């Protein structure tokens, strides 16, 4: 979806009514948009046995999990707490993939006891897992192919410093452990963490996983991670899911016949499913003209949406109170004692004190990365679904901030 469509979708939501009812700053999610993204992905891959494991670290609200559960999704969880959240939302443990890194073996054991599919990300844990479970509990292995599928039509190899996965160059070691412990490896996984734009780039990366896969006899699935790109900026090129799916389907089917069995094809998108559904709605407290720029200071900050500061991420911002005002340049900043700049020299319809701004693409890694810095409470979350608004997380108060503090007897 383009930014223009995202703006249109927002214009169809009763934002002012929602702000009036629940206040600001507020995270607003369009539930139907999440469903559409899920359906678009599964439809594109309808000629293979595709399974979508939603990466809930993008947005962990139980109501959003339930919405995706109803669609037929599974989950990708990166902590045992995320596994527990998934089960609370009603996901069957067997539909949850547990992909942690740098965890102690105890956490893996807890997930096995819960009945979750385990994804092993280092040799040490693989040995411990094999030693304890032998072939009695299947596991998936996370491979690091040392490939970054970049935004252009080339593959940058390298990525040698990544802490994720077991290096493809250690495959022989992996196979020794698997054979010695008679392990049941039912899946191979890779997640390069980068954007997939081009089918041929993706397939060249997938070839490495196929090469590895023929050396494992018990596979049920191959998991290609995530990386479907969504638009953050006007004119951003996004993944053509349908084209990509046609190319991957063809190559995957060829691999399955070579392998001798039909495998499941797994993806674990976070951003693709929820990013565009979400908006952070904030109020302009002050408009401050300086010698260098005009600041629009809002009632939120990096404590609520850290991506612009953390990743230098671009989030489109629109003035929902003055949509036809003359566009002018603003630096949109937060109210935190940090340089928490949401946008620098951004053209926005004239901003007046008291106006409300919508920050787009706030559905993924927004609330879940928020914090209480400056002792400020986190916003509420509202889900708009089938013509109704649902408060799905209440706004925090000072009580939430002091909840776990224990006064020292001093």
Ligand X SMILES: *Cc1c(COP(=O)(O)O)cnc(C)c1O
Instruction: List the Cα angle 229/147/244 in 5-degree steps.
Output: 40
Cα–Cα dist 47/37, whole Å = 18
DSSP, res 162 = -
Nearest distance from C-beta of residue 271 to ligand X, angstroms: 4
Instruction: Give the burial string for 308-325 (b: 16+ CB within 10 Å, else e).
Output: bbeeeebbbbbbbbbeee
Active site residue 140: no
Residue 364 binds ligand X, judged by CB under 6 A: yes
Name which position in 60, 61, 99, 319 contacts ligand X (CB under 6 A): 99
CB closer to ligand X out of 368 and 389:
368
Structure tokens that stand for 48 in this block = 């293979």
Q: Quick one: 93 or 325, whose CB is closer to ligand X? A: 93
Site for ligand X in 42-61 (CB under 6 A): 55, 57-58
Q: Applying CB under 6 A, what is the total number of residues that bind ligand X? A: 15
Q: Which residues have CB under 8 Å from 59's CB, separation 6+?
A: 29, 270, 274, 278, 363, 364, 365, 366, 367, 368
* Catalytic residue (one of 139, 140, 256, 337): 337
Question: Minimum Å distance from CB 32 to ligand X?
Answer: 20
Beta strand spans in 290-362 (E): 294-298, 317-319, 327-333, 341-349, 356-359
Q: Which stretch binds ligand X (CB under 6 A): 3-11, 109-117, 171-179, 264-272?
A: 264-272
Site for ligand X in 181-210 (CB under 6 A): 191
Residue 272 makes contact with ligand X by CB under 6 A: yes
The answer for residues whose C-beta is within 8 angstroms of residue 43's C-beta and 6 or more apart is: none
Which among 44-52, 268-276, 331-339, 352-360 is the span making contact with ligand X, rule CB under 6 A? Answer: 268-276
User: Under the criterion CB under 6 A, does residue 307 sit at the interface with ligand X?
Assistant: no
Q: Write down the least CB distance from residue 57 to ligand X, Å.
A: 6
Residue in the shown chain whose Cβ atom is closest to ligand X: 270
Which of 78, 109, 247, 401 is in the footprint of ligand X by CB under 6 A?
78
Give the DSSP H or E segment for 149: strand 147-149
Lay out the site mask for ligand X across 372-401 (x = CB under 6 A, - = otherwise): ------------------------------
Give the H/E segment covering residue 86.
helix 80-89
Question: b/e for 370-392, b at 16 or more Cβ within 10 A?
Answer: beeeeebbbbbbbbbbeeebeeb
Give Cα separations from 329 to 49, 326, 347 (angstroms).
49, 10, 4
- Tokens encoding 109: 């054991």
Residue nearer to ligand X on the CB measure, 209 or 333 = 209
Shortest reach from residue 196's CB to ligand X, in Å:
10
Is 270 an interacting residue with respect to ligand X (CB under 6 A)?
yes
Catalytic residues: 337
The residue ranges that bind ligand X (CB under 6 A) are: 55, 57-58, 76, 78, 99, 191, 225-226, 268-272, 364
């Amino acid at each position: 979806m383009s930014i223009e469509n995202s703006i249109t979708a927002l214009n169809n939501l009763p934002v002012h009514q929602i702000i009036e009812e629940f206040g600001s700053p507020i995270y607003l999610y369009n539930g139907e948009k999440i469903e559409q993204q899920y359906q678009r992905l599964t439809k594109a891959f309808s000629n293979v046995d595709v399974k979508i494991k939603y990466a809930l670290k993008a947005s962990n609200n139980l109501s959003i999990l339930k919405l995706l559960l109803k669609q037929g999704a599974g989950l990708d969880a990166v902590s045992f707490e995320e596994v527990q959240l998934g089960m609370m939302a009603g996901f069957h443990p067997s539909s949850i993939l547990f992909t942690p890194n740098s965890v102690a073996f105890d956490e893996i054991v807890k997930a096995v006891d819960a009945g979750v599919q385990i994804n092993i990300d280092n040799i040490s844990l693989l040995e411990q897992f094999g030693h304890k479970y032998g072939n009695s509990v299947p596991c998936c292995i996370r491979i690091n192919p040392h490939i970054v599928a970049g935004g252009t039509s080339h593959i940058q190899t390298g990525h040698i410093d990544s802490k994720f996965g077991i290096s493809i160059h250690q495959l022989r070691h992996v196979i020794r452990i698997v054979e010695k412990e008679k392990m049941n490896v039912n899946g191979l996984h890779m997640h390069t963490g980068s954007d997939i734009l081009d089918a041929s780039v993706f397939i060249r990366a997938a070839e490495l996983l196929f090469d590895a896969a023929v050396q494992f006899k018990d596979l049920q699935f191959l998991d290609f991670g995530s990386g479907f790109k969504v638009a953050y900026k006007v004119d951003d090129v996004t993944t053509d899911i349908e084209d990509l799916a046609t190319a991957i389907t063809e190559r995957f089917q060829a691999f399955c016949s070579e392998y001798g069995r039909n495998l499941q094809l797994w993806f674990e998108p976070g951003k693709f499913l929820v990013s565009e559904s979400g908006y952070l709605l904030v109020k302009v407290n002050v408009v401050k003209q300086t010698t260098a720029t005009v600041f629009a200071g809002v009632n939120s900050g990096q404590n609520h949406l850290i991506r612009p500061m953390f990743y230098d991420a671009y989030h489109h911002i629109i003035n929902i109170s003055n949509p036809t005002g003359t566009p002018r340049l603003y630096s949109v900043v937060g109210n935190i004692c940090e340089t928490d700049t949401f946008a620098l020299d951004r053209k926005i319809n004239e901003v007046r004190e008291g106006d409300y701004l919508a920050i787009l693409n706030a559905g993924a890694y927004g609330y879940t990365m928020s914090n209480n810095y400056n002792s400020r409470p986190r916003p509420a979350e509202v889900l708009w679904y089938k013509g109704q608004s649902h408060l799905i997380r209440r706004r925090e108060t000072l009580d939430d901030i002091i909840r776990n503090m224990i006064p020292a007897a001093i």
